[in-house]
Amino acid sequence: MKRLNRLMLALAAVCLLAAPALADTLKVGVQAPITGSYANEGQGIDNGVRLLAEQINAKGGVLGKKIEVITCDDQGTAMAAAICAKDLVNQGVKMVIGSYTSTCAEAAQKTYFDAGVIQTSDGTADSLTEKGYWTFLRNSFPNSAEAEFAANYMVKVKKYKRIVIISDFSTYADGLANATEAAVKKLGGNVVSRDKIKADSQNFTPVLTRIKAKNPDVIFFAGYYTDGGQLRAQQVALGIKADFIGGDANDNPDFAKLAGSAAKGAYIVNVPSPDVLPYDIAKSFIAAYKKKYGIMPASIWGLMNIDGMRAIIHGMEQTKSFDTKKVVEYLKNMKEPLPGITGPIAFAEDGNRKGGSYVVKMIQADGSYKHVYVQ
């Protein structure tokens, strides 16, 4: 009995010693769609964050603290995103990586702002940086920049005369479609129809039948890949000869899977793909990702979120502080951009990432991309 008591006392002592170490971690939240329609993007973000945390911890952590990753599945819905935000804040995170969609990022923004938690997201909706929340850092580029590029490509490069623009009702898609319509008209282009679909409805024949009567040269789709692939397949099935250009959220391997043979010849507008990123740091991280998970990152979006996390940690190391206000102020006033996986990283005063370059990719018969136009 005495021996058992000594063992229990020893275990208790170990727990007491271990408790301060666990409490002394740097908690990093991941808010992403781990399940639901955008699960492969969310899982890609979570995988990337955990890999980066593992690499940093192996070198001693951040200012002597090991990173502890806490993941919350927002399922790609605003309601779950709002719950995730409260849960992650209650668990004491200093930063949150995500979410994938603008709608979910926006639903959580106010909670992170009130708690002084830094949030970095690939969400492209312009509205994300219009509320003045100092805690928000966009690691991608805003809809307005993509809209100007896409409009120039359609009006000036391809010289389409009859343009159709479709979106769903989400913050991201509606914002990108509206910005693209305005940019096309600014260049003197002709938008013959502006339509909306209900995301995940799967049957887009009624909208496409109306569009067919407009005899378009091109359909620009500003929604997500889960609908984009099916929209393209149904467009071809209905005999609509127009080109198809998908906005950045169509840049996912599942677009080609959903579109089937109709994917061939479709265009996607986005920043360069992971496999063509020229930076040494990109090649190194992607190689480590493939070694750990046996697959390529799902798309560029996960890597942009990793760059957001890298930037915040860089800010902590440079300021030698976990004070989130100091870190954000440092990141918005860096004299030189931080070399990133997806290119140089620097932030403007409103939280937008500076710079940005876009490409147009054409989907080949095997689902791979061919870059056909570079900004």
251-296 pLDDT, tens per residue?
998 999 999 999 999 999 998 877 778 889 999 999 999 999 999 9
Taking the whole predicted model, whether its pTM rises above 0.75 is answered as yes
Q: Check whether residue 187 and residue 250 sit in a common domain.
A: yes
Domain membership flag for residue 247: yes
Domain membership flag for residue 17: no
Q: Check whether residue 177 and residue 157 sit in a common domain.
A: yes
Q: Which of 52, 129, 38, 132 is CA-nearest to residue 81?
A: 38
Q: Check whether residue 152 and residue 207 sit in a common domain.
A: yes
Q: Which residues contact 257 (CB under 8 A, 6 or more apart)?
A: 229, 367
Q: Check whether residue 204 and residue 186 sit in a common domain.
A: yes
Share of the chain above pLDDT 90, in %: 85
CA distances from 249 to 55, 59, 198, 324 (A): 29, 35, 16, 30
Report residue 301 as tokens. 């979006």
Q: Check whether residue 221 and residue 325 sit in a common domain.
A: no
Q: Check whether residue 177 and residue 193 sit in a common domain.
A: yes
pLDDT surpasses 60 at 4:
no
Q: Check whether residue 238 and residue 305 sit in a common domain.
A: no
Q: Which of 336, 337, 319 is CA-nearest to residue 328?
A: 319
Boundary residue ending a domain (244, 270, 296): 270
Element (H, E) at 191: strand 191-196
pLDDT surpasses 60 at 315:
yes
Q: How high is the pLDDT of residue 299?
A: 87
Boundary residue ending a domain (222, 246, 270): 270
The mean per-residue pLDDT over the stretch 299-309 comes to 95
Q: What is the 3-state composition of the chain as percent helix, strand, coil, each rounded to the nearest 5?
A: 50, 15, 35
Share of the chain above pLDDT 70, in %: 94
Domain membership flag for residue 172: yes
- In this prediction, residue 8 has a pLDDT band, given cuts at 50, 70 and 90, of very low
CATH of the domain at 209: 3.40.50.2300
* Burial group, residue 57, by CB count within 10 angstroms (0-12, 13-18, 19+): middle
Q: Check whether residue 245 and residue 188 sit in a common domain.
A: yes
Q: Check whether residue 203 and residue 114 sit in a common domain.
A: no
Q: How high is the pLDDT of residue 23?
A: 59
d(CA 286, CA 278): 12
User: Which structural domain, as residue segments, surrounds residue 184?
Assistant: 144-270
Domain membership flag for residue 324: yes
Q: How many domains does the chain have?
A: 2
Q: How high is the pLDDT of residue 6?
A: 47
Q: Check whether residue 222 and residue 154 sit in a common domain.
A: yes
CA distances from 170 to 163, 221, 372 (A): 21, 13, 29
Residue 361 per-residue DSSP state: E
